[in-house]
Structure 1
Amino acid sequence: MTLVKMLIQSYEDNTFSTKGAGKYTVFLNPESFTHTFEVAYDKTETQGQSGATAKFKAMGDEQVSFDLMFDGTGAVVGTVIDVDTEVKKLRSVTLDYQGKLHSPYYLQLSWGTLLFNCHLTKFDVSYTLFRPDGSPLRAKVSLTFVGFTDTATKAKQADNQSSDLTHHHYVQAGDTLPLLCHRIYGHSRYYLAVAAHNQLINFRRLEPGKLLQFPPLV
């Protein structure tokens, strides 16, 4: 099986459509990574209650973090690298300020099933072995990335009625497919396509309790 290395690709725009000048293929794949999801709640206390009531506020930041190892002795993979040069290459892609963007690059991590659009929030370097002249032979770089979603996509995700997102609906008494299509898509003309998508034999008689899927409009 071919070894696939993690790729960190830079982008110049927040829609991740224009690639930046830099990309970085890691020297050694991380041994592990942490993918963190958060949900934010407001806690309000009412006089007389024994505790606070948690109320949903927003979906919190999604984060990915991992360590990258650099070895310039050749003992790990048989390839001798200049550790300081490699760390600077990684930094130029992930951390350095880009004058044209007025910020560092937008980044996309890709490795196996991981595909993560993000910004770098932490770049922590630990040097552990040195040549006699003081130049580094080994280093560990600890990286933390926070997920990034552009404003338009966030608005669509927040709007449960957005027609370009997949919707699910449990049929209730009195529901008709044209009416549901009008409610979700803004027009009833899509009812035949939705019937076919759900493999409905008789779309005129919807069975209460049946789960219907309304695919996104393209």
Structure 2
Amino acid sequence: MSPAVRASRARAQLTLKEPPTAVGAKPGGVIARLNLQFNPSTLQLGKTTEWRRTPSRMAGESALPEFVGSGPRTLSLDVFLDATARHDDSVERAVETLMKACVPTPTSLGRKKPASPWVRFEWGTARSTSFDGVLSNLSVSYTLFDVDGTPLRATCSLSIEEASVGPAGQNPTSGARTARRTHTVVAGDSLAMLAWREYGDATVWRVIAEANDIDDPIALVPGSEVVVPAVRGGYDGEAS
């Protein structure tokens, strides 16, 4: 391969941004950017869909599945770090950058709305694997150390879960709510989780609670159906 071709090769990178301040808003400023030393050898992209079936009384028949909704995209990849040529702390600094994506940002804590940074993986012109998301899993394996114990090589396995929000102007706390869908509760569900999936903001779970006359946002009965209102109107950034 010629030097010109090698020089033009696209390099993958991870960008951490401030989380949005409101539903429908875009991520804030860049917190950190990690230019990967080595492009990933494998990218695993996944997406789930949720279906509901009404039980059939006849053994030889089955009801048509009803589409309930689709889950977010998830992207999994391994990031390889190597500092053997430099013998510095670049491996640990890169790991610390990734760790920042697992905790709330100081700015969000100051707003009293704790939220971790939004993460975006970019590699050349690829679109299917480039989206705003949150880091849902991170594990680090140190595989080589200097004589003083400084890590020289590491493999970071991470998963990014899509966290894109709807277009600006949607308000879960005001506007018409005539359009709606239902969600079948499964073990581990909470109103905050449903609000995050539907509106991109877990703090507006009261919208769903009011639509279903629910007092306890955590105690949901698996198998029961919860009405999830659709939303229209302007967003003021605060839950009612």
Is 1:69 the counterpart of 2:80? The answer is yes
**1:110-157: CA deviation from partner (whole Å, max 9, x where unpaired):** 11213211111011101112223332221100010011121447x7xx
Aligned residue in 2 for 1:90? 98
Residues 46 and 52 in structure 1, CA contact (< 8 A), matched pair in contact too = yes
Aligned to 1:100, the other structure's residue is in SS state helix
Aligned to 2:147: 132
* Paired letter, 1:144: S
1:99 alignment partner in structure 2: 106
Mapped partners of 1:142, 1:12: distance in 2: 22
Partners of 1:69 and 1:8 in 2: how far apart?
A: 13
Counterpart of 1:40 in structure 2 is 50
**Structure 1 unmatched ranges of 5 or more:** 156-218
1:51 shift after superposition: 6.5
Q: CA offsets, 1:11-35, max 9 Å, x none? A: 2243335323322212222112111
Residues 1:19 and 2:12 aligned together? no
Give the secondary-structure state (helix, strand or coil) at the position aligned to 2:56.
Answer: coil
TM-score by length of 2: 0.55
| 1:44 partner SS | coil
Alpha-carbon contact 1:71-1:81 (below 8 Å) kept: no
Tell me the residue number matched to 1:30: 40
2:121 and 2:44 mapped to 1: Cα distance? 13
Gap change, CA 1:138 and 1:52, over 3 Å in 2: farther
AA in 2 matched with 1:111? W
Offset of residue 66 of structure 1: 0.3
Q: Is the 8 A contact 2:142 2:153 kept in 1?
A: yes
Q: Is the 8 A contact 1:16 1:106 kept in 2?
A: no
Contact 2:27–2:118 under 8 Å retained in 1: no
CA displacement at 1:52 relative to structure 2: 5.3
TM-score normalized by the length of structure 1: 0.60
Match of 1:141 in 2: 156
Return the match for 1:59 from 59, 70, 75.
Answer: 70
Q: Greater relative contact order: 1 or 2 (C-alpha under 8 angstroms, separation 6 or more)? A: 2
User: Shift in Å at residue 70 of structure 1?
Assistant: 0.9
Residues 27 and 16 of structure 1: CA distance in aligned 2, closer, same or farther (over 3 Å): farther
Are 1:98 and 1:104, in contact at CA under 8 Å, matched by a contact in 2?
yes
- Indicate conservation of the 8 Å contact 2:18/2:105, yes or no: no
38 and 20 in structure 1: CA distance in 2 versus 1, 3 angstrom threshold: same
Query: CA separation in 2, counterparts of 1:24 and 1:16?
Result: 20
> Alpha-carbon deviation of 1:97?
2.1
Alpha carbons of structure 1 residues 81 and 65: separation in structure 2 relative to 1, 3 Å: farther
Name the amino acid aligned to 1:128.
T
Question: Is the contact between residue 9 and residue 19 of structure 1 (CA under 8 Å) also seen in structure 2?
Answer: no
Pair 1:51–1:64, CA change in 2 (3 A) = farther
Superposed CA deviations along residues 67-98 of structure 1, whole A, max 9, x for unmatched, are: 00011212xxxx55522222112323x32321
In structure 1, C-alpha distance between the alignment counterparts of 2:19 and 2:56, rounded to whole Å: 45
* Equivalent pair of 1:45/1:51 in contact (CA under 8 Å): no
**Aligned alpha-carbon RMSD (Å):** 2.4
Between structure 1 and structure 2, the one with the greater Rg is: 1
1:108 aligns with 2:120: yes
Aligned residues: 150
- State, as a whole percentage, how many aligned pairs show the same letter: 21
Flag structure 2 segments of 5+ consecutive residues without an equivalent: 109-113, 171-240
Mapped partners of 2:60, 2:28: distance in 1 = 53
